[in-house]
Structure 1
Amino acid sequence: MLTRRTLAASAAALGIAALSGCAKEPAPAVDYVLLNGQKVSSKQWAGKVMLVNFWATSCATCVKEMPQIAATHEKFKARGFDTLAVAMSYDPPAFVARFAESRQLPFGVAIDNTGAVAQAFGPVQMTPTTFLINKRGEIVKRYVGEPDFAAVHGLIEKLLAEG
């Protein structure tokens, strides 16, 4: 017998979430270290719309979409939007640091050395995987692969307008 919880879990696993009506999954509580050495907690996301992107320097789609993620960050950052790029545990830290520096990524970049952040979010196994999180800390959308950035921008607009 299918219950609301089973349906919600199935929908979350498939990356399907409605803006209203369906119970949203809370984003996991995670701690991570940015490339600059700053220790950060997901508790600091409260009141912001967050885009969390799991990626790798060896992932062609990840590299291809990164300029659009940077442009999205720049477009919305003044309105309570933030971005975190989480490099997968198998990505050599020197490659990640070089990539972030050479592309002048305008947002936080963390290396998930132990895989704990990717595990907390799913587990995340494919890159790119991107999550949109609302101001209340709920996962609103999960994208596996490169998303339609026009649609992402529309959803961000709606999330920023929410109370």
Structure 2
Amino acid sequence: MRSIFHHFVAAATFAVASLTPALAAELPVVRKAPEINITTIDGKQVTAADLKGKVVVVDFWATWCGPCVAEIPGYVALQKKYGKDGLVIVGVSVDRGSIDKVKKFVAKNGMNYAITMGEDGVLAEAFGGFDAIPTTFLIDRQGNIRHQKTGSMEHEEYEALVKQLL
């Protein structure tokens, strides 16, 4: 029985390893990203000039969205691991109502990346709009959207995409 388990683990590891390069295959340019000029929930300004030459992940999410919340530890890990290499993660909360609720959620979850409120829909419309969250955009150093995903994605899959652009 232990032998079967070890073979299963080896096969699963191989399958994931072989999938990662396929995900990181050359990412086409989807379209030019809109300029991002935001005020974070802690009052800091993040401008298009600040993001120039950076790889940027823009994640539209909400505190009440289970798949969104499940992705947060992965974004925290990516920011910690690749922030020094030019990765910037921007979380856009679409929660309605009190910013204090979002601030408490961010603190409780150790979110180490820029968070802004997007309940007015202006930033979502600038990105072309979407029907569901989480919706995430990956922007290259030249300001092009290279990946767009509605729905959750495993941390390892997203890391492979991010690493390709760093």
TM range (shorter): 0.7 to 0.9
Answer whether contact 1:32 1:112 (CA < 8 A) is retained: no
Aligned residue in 2 for 1:46: 52
1:111 aligns with one of 112, 117, 120? 117
Bigger fraction of residues in helix: 2
- Give the number of equivalent residue pairs: 142
Answer whether contact 1:86 1:111 (CA < 8 A) is retained: yes
1:135 and 2:141 are equivalent in the alignment = yes
Q: C-alpha displacement at 1:95, in angstroms?
A: 1.7
Letter in 1 for 2:84: A
Unaligned runs of 5+ in 2: 1-24
User: Once structures 1 and 2 are overlaid, which stretch shifts more, 137-146 or 118-127?
Assistant: 118-127
| Misfit runs of 4+, over 4 Å | none
User: Hey, what's the Cα distance between the residues in 2 that align with 1:55 and 1:43?
Assistant: 24
Q: What SS does structure 2 have at the residue aligned with 1:109?
A: strand
Unaligned runs of 5+ in 1: 1-17
CA RMSD of aligned residues (A): 1.8
Q: TM-score, normalization: structure 1?
A: 0.79
Q: What SS does structure 1 have at the residue aligned with 2:107?
A: helix
Q: C-alpha displacement at 1:152, in angstroms?
A: 1.5
User: Hey, what's the Cα distance between the residues in 1 that align with 2:120 and 2:49?
Assistant: 20
User: Hey, what's the Cα distance between the residues in 2 that align with 1:78 and 1:63?
Assistant: 24
Q: C-alpha displacement at 1:151, in angstroms?
A: 2.1
Q: TM-score, normalization: structure 2?
A: 0.78
Letter in 2 for 1:143: K
Map 1:6-155; keep pairs closer than 5 Å: 19=26, 22-88=28-94, 90=96, 92-155=98-161
Larger Rg: 2
Aligned residue in 1 for 2:4: none
Q: C-alpha displacement at 1:23, in angstroms?
A: 4.6
